[in-house]
Structure 1
Amino acid sequence: MHCSSFAADLCRSCTLMGQSYPEQLAAKQRHVEQVLGPRADLDWLAPVTSPESGFRNKAKMVVGGTALQPTLGILDATGRGIDLRDCGLYTPGLQAAFGVLAHFVARAGLTPYDVARRSGELKNLLVTESPDGELMVRFVLRSQEPVARIRKHLPVLLGELPHLRVVSANLLPEHKAVVEGEREILLTEQETLRMRLNGIDMHLRPQSFFQTNTEVAAALYRQATAWVDELAPSSVWDLYCGVGGFALHCAAPGRAVLGVETSREAVASATLSAHEAGLSCATFQVGDATAFALGAPHAPGLVVVNPPRRGLGEELSRWLEESSVEHVVYSSCHSGSLARDLAAMPSLRPRRARLLDMFPQTSHYEVLTLLERA
Structure 2
Amino acid sequence: MKTDGAGTVTTSVALDCAYFDAWRCRSCTLLATPYEAQLAEQQARIEALLPPMRWDPPFASAVGAFRNKAKMAVAGTVDAPTLGILAADGSGIDLQACPLHEQPLVDAMPALEALVREARLVPYDVPSRRGELKHLILTASPDGELALRIVLRSSEALPRVRKHLAVLDDLPLVSVSANLQPEHKAVLEGDEELLLAGAGVLRMRVNGIGLRLRPRGFFQTNTAVAAALYRQATAWIDEAEPASVLDLYCGVGGFALHAARPGRRVAGVEVTAEAIDAARETAAELGADASFAVGDATGVDLEGAGAPELVVVNPPRRGIGELAGRLEASAVRRVVYSSCNPSSLARDLAAMPSLRPTRARVFDMFPHTTHAEVLVELERR
TM-score, structure 1 as length reference = 0.96
Matched, 1:17 2:28: no
- Residue 309 (structure 1) aligned with residue 317 (structure 2): yes
Question: Counterparts of 2:167 and 2:125 in 1: how far apart (Å)?
Answer: 27
Kept in 2, the 8 Å contact 1:293–1:319? The answer is no
Q: What does residue 185 of structure 1 align with?
A: 194
- The residue correspondences of 1:321-332 to structure 2 (distance < 5 A) are 321-332=328-339
Distance 1:9 1:106 in 2: 28
Q: Which residue does 2:170 correspond to in 1?
A: 160
Q: Distance in 2 between matches of 1:372 and 1:73?
A: 44
Aligned with residue 41 of structure 2, among 18, 27, 49: 27
Report the alpha carbon displacement of residue 189 of structure 1 after superposing the two structures with TM. Answer: 3.5
Residue among 117, 121, 140 paired with 2:132: 121
Q: 1:145 and 1:276 mapped to 2: Cα distance?
A: 39
8 A contact 2:75–2:123 mirrored in 1:
yes
SS at match of 2:210: strand
Q: 2:93 matched to 1:85?
A: no
CA distance in structure 2 between the partners assigned to 1:79 and 1:115 by the alignment: 6
Q: 1:257 to 1:153 in 2, by over 3 A?
A: same
8 Å contact from structure 1 (residues 2, 18) kept in 2: no
- The alignment status of 1:246 with 2:255, answered yes or no, reads yes
Aligned to 2:74: 63
Q: Which runs of 4+ in 1 moved over 4 A?
A: 294-297
Q: Which amino acid aligns with 1:236?
A: V
Which deviations, in whole Å up to 9, do the C-alpha atoms of 1:263-298 show, x marking residues without a partner? 11111111111111111x101111110012468873
What is the deviation of 1:332? 0.4
Residues 294-333 of structure 1, C-alpha deviations (whole Å, 9 max, x = no match):
68873100000001111110x2111111111000000001
Q: Figure out how many residues of one structure are paired with residues of the other and give that number.
A: 367
User: Contact conserved, 2:303 with 2:331, CA < 8 A, in 1?
Assistant: no
What is the correspondence of 1:310-349 to structure 2 with a 5 Å cutoff? 310-313=318-321, 315-349=322-356
Q: Match for residue 152 of structure 2?
A: 141
Could you tell me which amino acid in structure 1 is paired with residue 312 of structure 2?
V
| Partner Cα separation in structure 2 for residue 187 and residue 86 of structure 1 | 26
Given the alignment, which residue of 225, 228, 244 partners 1:219?
228
Task: Work out whether 1:300 is the aligned partner of 2:308.
Answer: yes
Separation (CA, whole Å) in 1 of partners of 2:278 and 2:165: 25
1:182 deviates by 1.0
Maintained 8 Å contact 2:303/2:330: no
**SS class of match (2:101):** coil
Could you list the per-position Cα deviations for residues 71-106 of structure 1 after superposition, in whole angstroms to 9, with x for gaps in the alignment? 000111111110011111001110001111011110
1:229-285 C-alpha deviation (Å, 9 max, x unpaired): 111111110000001000010011011111000111111111111111111x10111
Q: Distance in 1 between matches of 2:147 and 2:242?
A: 37
The amino acid across from 2:47 in the alignment is E
SS in 2 for 1:143: coil
| TM-score, normalised relative to structure 2 | 0.95
Change (3 A) 1:230 1:294: closer
Residue 273 of structure 1 corresponds to which residue in structure 2?
Answer: 282
CA contact (8 A) 2:268 2:293 kept: yes
Partner of residue 357, structure 2: 350
Name 1:96's counterpart in structure 2. Answer: 107
Cα distance in structure 2, aligned partners of 1:154 and 1:111:
16
Q: Tell me the CA shift for residue 160 of structure 1.
A: 2.0
Offset at 1:152?
1.0
- Is residue 2:294 matched to residue 1:286? yes
Alpha-carbon offset, residue 11 of structure 1: 1.2
Is the 1:228–1:250 Cα contact (8 Å) retained in structure 2?
yes
Note if contact 2:341-2:372 (Cα within 8 Å) is conserved in structure 1.
yes
Secondary structure, aligned partner of 2:300: helix
Secondary structure of the residue that 1:331 maps to in structure 2?
strand
Going from structure 1 to structure 2, the CA distance change for 1:118 and 1:46 (only over 3 Å counts) comes to same
- 2:225–2:365: 8 Å Cα contact kept in structure 1? yes
Amino acid at match of 2:319: G
Q: Deviations over 1:96-127 (max 9, x none)?
A: 01111011110111110011111110000011
Name the CA distance, whole Å, in 2 between partners of 1:94 and 1:213.
13
How far off is 1:7 after superposition? Answer: 1.8
Which of 219, 240, 259 is the matching residue for 1:231?
A: 240
Tell me which amino acid in the other structure corresponds to 2:296.
Answer: D
C-alpha distance in 2 between matches for 1:35 and 1:3: 32
2:111 touches 2:167 (CA, 8 Å); kept in 1?
A: no
Q: Which amino acid aligns with 1:23?
A: A
The one of 143, 150, 161 aligned to 1:132: 143
In 2 relative to 1, CA 86–189 (structure 1 residues): closer, same or farther, beyond 3 Å?
Answer: closer
Q: Report SS of the residue matched to 1:342.
A: helix
Q: CA deviation at 1:4?
A: 1.7
